Amino acid sequence: MPSTTIQPQTLYDKVFQDHVVHQDEHSALLFVDRHLVHEVTSPQAFEGLKNAGRKVRRTDCTLATVDHNTPTTKRTNFTDIASFVKADQARLQCTTLEQNVKDFGVRYFGLNDARQGIVHVVGPEQGFTLPGTTVVCGDSHTSTHGAFGALAFGIGTSEVEHVLATQTIIQYKSKNMLIHVNGKLSPGITSKDLVLHIIGIIGTAGGTGCVLEFAGDVISDLSMESRMSICNMAIEAGARAGMIAPDQITFDYIKGRPLAPKGAEWEKALSYWKTLKTDEGAHFDSVVEIKAQDIIPTITWGTSPQDALPINGVVPDPENESDPIKKAGIVRALQYMGLTPNTPLVDITLDKVFIGSCTNSRIEDLRAAAAVVKGKHIASTIKHAMIVPGSGLVKRQAEKEGLDKVFEAAGFDWREAGCSMCLGMNPDILDPEERCASTSNRNFEGRQGALSRTHLCSPAMAAAAAIEGHFIDVRKYLISDSPQVSIESDKKLAESQMEEEKQPKTPARQPSPAAEQPTPNSIAESTSVAPVAPAAPAASGIPPFSVETGVAAPLCQENVDTDAIIPKQFLNTIKRTGLKAGLFYPLRFTKNEVTGQWEETNFVLNVEPYTKAKILVVAGENFGCGSSREHAPWALTDFGLRCIIAPSFGDIFYNNSFKNGLLPIRISKEVIIEKLLPVAERGEQLSIDLPNQQILSSSGEVIIPHFEIEEFRKYCLVNGFDDIGLTLQKEEYIKKYEQLRSIKFSFLEEDPVKVIKPVKGSKESPFGVNAQDW
């Protein structure tokens, strides 16, 4: 007889369970409460909808803005996005989004709206992000929203299309990992130092396959904005998501925000949200203990977020590394970064400073930076120091507090909201070999511009570095001579936004009269017994994969990130095709110092017989980590690759691959090095037999008798089925879930489209939302 005892659950388990629309043996179909959309990863998704004659299922659960490739220059003379964005491809992505939100009725914050900003700043700021919700976006830093106790993760463009069409997503249960931070952070140490320290310890593959829960005294003491900075970088630790249990600090932050529940719905929400914590005795698959007193200001020296060191450290020496692949990685990073082993970190001089990004562009970050620079001036050697607020509302709040004046007096450039130099898809980039102190989250090769050199750090550390011209331990600074800027509480910020955006309450969606009141855990139970809709033919959108034989190319590199697979300058497209030219660009091409031309390197895919490789054999962990860009599998398949074999993969990349007929196979590093790498190094062929889950040599000898793959993924790939067609067969389950959700979680049902009204001094935008008059 099955046990009736209720097992203690983690926060992740609870939120996951409350969103199950349908569960089968291996995967679950989860309902998506909140979908954020931006211009870079959505065009192909909307195109897919249009081609299939589908609509956006829940416009009330969808919010779009432009952020990645928009200029951050003054918008005083802004008339429309088509004339404001100068770069052709970026303009096309922006105008395509504006057309799509219009065609599909999606609410949108455009450049003439004060609420525009980086998606991950906008969602929480508006109260769109709420505890216990599922939040997705075609962007890896969706993990940010986990700070509210939401299950929030980045998805690829095919999944964006899936969510737009079905309001659901197919998920596999991740493992639970607890990051427990004990003690108290010393004065001057921020959550950015903490998260860099954590990633320095567990590594960029440390959280692979897991949802991280951050807990402990230190986490409970943090403000919401600091918590967001931590969860933001959970993706840099390789995790599916990062979560923090909601508490009074969370509730106070949300209360009164424009899209947060009001009145009786607020009270109902609150009583549910209070249950969202890990139960005593719940099982974690792994636990990492972090001692807060060990942490001092932390920066990165290399080209991976795990290259984090305390500011009193020195640049590492590859001679101290025994693993040959890791050693080669350090050598390459040192060369790329132009650093000499054993140099004290405080001796690293800088060219530029960037304070912004979805990690650190909120009001608290700007206050911290302003507190450091007030009354001082940036060093004469600093060529440019930028402050880019995360949203128009953050900018406005900072201006209310006079922070813009503090920054400008200190020689900083005060900009408009957007992603800006975090990845430089807009004009804000570093020149080759320029070195930047950046409050962003990624220091990959070429991240802030071709051959750019990025050091990640906190806003206070970046501000101090701007003043000194080199890194410095900001604690000396803060303690000695820096006056504090007056600080309004977070609560006041929320209220000040509310004054302008106070909304009339609209009635919640009416439940169907036939719907029964569900008991607390009954959504999953009820929906799991719903009848299956008659089978509709599944759309066949991906090339089927049965047995593939071809040349296997060897690659001995750890942490190959998706920025390296396809750099940002190739993301400015609204198509899925033609990306071969950008594949592994930083590895396949190098700049000739004499001619200034980019020339082919001897990277494996440039060399015969590998120019026709179908299989990539990677002898390094964490292939495809970082950004959610589905352009990575698009570029790999455009080159002709059908299979990547590696010890581990970035979670989002792994998912994206299957949607494009690219088979990622996980095999241990030892086995790859012993059995597959030698075959690839000899330039021989391998056969991948997916139906039998085997790898064979060209002569038919079985080299790997069995590899693991999830049943459902195999089924889709072998048959070339796309998920949307299959999910639409579960329409009855989705309907049933929606019906029950409208009762149990009625506080999520207010239709924010109706709630949004013009803000003071605004004019109506052509997209049915309110435009802020700049």
Ligand X SMILES: CC(C)[C@H](C(=O)O)[C@@H](O)C(=O)O
**Alpha carbon separation from 282 to 43, 54, 131, 176, 286 (Å, rounded):** 42, 42, 20, 10, 12
CA distance 341 to 344: 9
Rounded to 10°, the helix 631-639/651-658 angle is: 50
| 68 is an interface residue for ligand X by CB under 6 A | yes
3-state secondary structure (DSSP) of residue 110: coil
Residue with smaller CB distance to ligand X, 141 or 642 = 141
**Alpha carbon separation from 318 to 201, 305, 322, 520, 727 (Å, rounded):** 18, 18, 8, 56, 50
35 binds, among ligand X, ligand SF4, none (CB under 5 to 8 A by kind): none
- Whether the CB-CB separation of 177 and 198 falls below 8 Å is answered with no
CA distance 672 to 674: 6
118 binds, among ligand SF4, ligand X, none (CB under 5 to 8 A by kind): ligand SF4
357 binds, among ligand SF4, ligand X, none (CB under 5 to 8 A by kind): ligand SF4
| 196 is an interface residue for ligand X by CB under 6 A | no
Residue with smaller CB distance to ligand SF4, 10 or 142 = 142
| 436 is an interface residue for ligand SF4 by CB under 6 A | no
- Whether the CB-CB separation of 538 and 722 falls below 8 Å is answered with yes
| 118 is an interface residue for ligand SF4 by CB under 6 A | yes
Residue with smaller CB distance to ligand SF4, 167 or 229 = 229
Query: What secondary structure, in 3-state letters, does 544-569 show?
Result: CCCEEEEEEEEECCCCCEHHHHCCHH
Residue with smaller CB distance to ligand SF4, 199 or 334 = 199
DSSP character for 425?
Answer: S
Q: In the set 358, 369, 386, 716, which binds ligand SF4 (CB under 6 A)?
A: 358
Q: Using the rule CB under 6 A, give the single segment among 103-111, 300-308, 418-426, 569-577 that binds ligand SF4.
A: 418-426
| 13 is an interface residue for ligand SF4 by CB under 6 A | no
Q: How many residues bind ligand SF4 (CB under 6 A)?
A: 12
- Least Cα distance to 439 among 196, 705, 132 occurs for 196
Nearest-approach distance from CB 68 to ligand X, in angstroms: 5
| 579 is an interface residue for ligand SF4 by CB under 6 A | no
Q: In the set 57, 68, 162, 257, which binds ligand SF4 (CB under 6 A)?
A: 68
3-state secondary structure (DSSP) of residue 44: helix
3-state secondary structure (DSSP) of residue 745: coil
CA distance 65 to 39: 7
Query: Of 558-617, which residues contact ligand X (CB under 6 A)?
Result: 571
- Whether the CB-CB separation of 598 and 589 falls below 8 Å is answered with yes
User: In sequence order, what are the residues at sequence separation of 6 or more whose Cβ sits closer than 8 angstroms to the Cβ of residue 246?
Assistant: 131, 132, 148, 149, 273, 274, 276, 277
Residue with smaller CB distance to ligand SF4, 357 or 452 = 357
Number of other CB atoms surrounding residue 707 within 10 Å: 18
| 64 is an interface residue for ligand SF4 by CB under 6 A | no
Q: In the set 41, 158, 204, 739, which binds ligand X (CB under 6 A)?
A: 41
| 154 is an interface residue for ligand X by CB under 6 A | yes
Relative to beta strand 168-171, strand 175-182 is unpaired
> 384-422: b or e for each residue (b if 16 or more CB lie within 10 Å)?
bbbbbbbbbbbbbbbeebebbebbeebbbebbbbbbbbb
Q: In the set 22, 115, 227, 629, which binds ligand X (CB under 6 A)?
A: 629
| 36 is an interface residue for ligand X by CB under 6 A | no
Nearest-approach distance from CB 304 to ligand SF4, in angstroms: 15
Q: In the set 18, 139, 159, 434, which binds ligand X (CB under 6 A)?
A: 139
- Whether the CB-CB separation of 364 and 492 falls below 8 Å is answered with no
Residue with smaller CB distance to ligand SF4, 198 or 552 = 198
- Whether the CB-CB separation of 116 and 93 falls below 8 Å is answered with no
| 419 is an interface residue for ligand SF4 by CB under 6 A | yes
Residue with smaller CB distance to ligand SF4, 114 or 118 = 118
The encoded tokens of residue 15 equal: 């939120």
The encoded tokens of residue 272 equal: 């549910």
| 656 is an interface residue for ligand SF4 by CB under 6 A | no
| 618 is an interface residue for ligand X by CB under 6 A | no
| 141 is an interface residue for ligand SF4 by CB under 6 A | yes
| 228 is an interface residue for ligand SF4 by CB under 6 A | no
Residue with smaller CB distance to ligand X, 57 or 141 = 141
Nearest-approach distance from CB 318 to ligand SF4, in angstroms: 29
User: In sequence order, what are the residues at sequence separation of 6 or more whose Cβ sits closer than 8 angstroms to the Cβ of residue 155?
Assistant: 136, 137, 138, 142, 163, 169, 628, 652, 655
| 627 is an interface residue for ligand X by CB under 6 A | yes
- Whether the CB-CB separation of 630 and 659 falls below 8 Å is answered with yes
DSSP character for 469?
Answer: S
Residue with smaller CB distance to ligand X, 118 or 615 = 118
Residue with smaller CB distance to ligand X, 40 or 464 = 40
Number of other CB atoms surrounding residue 25 within 10 Å: 7
440 binds, among ligand X, ligand SF4, none (CB under 5 to 8 A by kind): ligand SF4
| 40 is an interface residue for ligand X by CB under 6 A | yes
Query: Of 688-707, which residues contact ligand SF4 (CB under 6 A)?
Result: none
Nearest-approach distance from CB 45 to ligand X, in angstroms: 12
Residue position matching structure tokens 């697979």: 565
| 140 is an interface residue for ligand X by CB under 6 A | yes
| 771 is an interface residue for ligand SF4 by CB under 6 A | no
- Please report the DSSP string for 377-400 in residue order: ---TT--EEEE--SBHHHHHHHHH
Angle at Cα 236 formed by Cα 388 and Cα 190, nearest 5°? 60
Q: How many residues bind ligand X (CB under 6 A)?
A: 12
| 229 is an interface residue for ligand SF4 by CB under 6 A | no
**Alpha carbon separation from 720 to 191, 224, 598 (Å, rounded):** 44, 43, 38
348 binds, among ligand X, ligand SF4, none (CB under 5 to 8 A by kind): none
Q: Using the rule CB under 6 A, give the single segment among 179-187, 606-614, 624-632, 732-740 that binds ligand X.
A: 624-632
Query: Of 408-467, which residues contact ligand X (CB under 6 A)?
Result: 423
Residue with smaller CB distance to ligand X, 140 or 176 = 140
| 551 is an interface residue for ligand SF4 by CB under 6 A | no
Return residues touching ligand SF4 (CB under 6 A). 67-68, 118, 139, 141, 357-358, 419, 422-423, 440-441
Return residues touching ligand X (CB under 6 A). 40-41, 68, 139-141, 154, 423, 571, 627-629
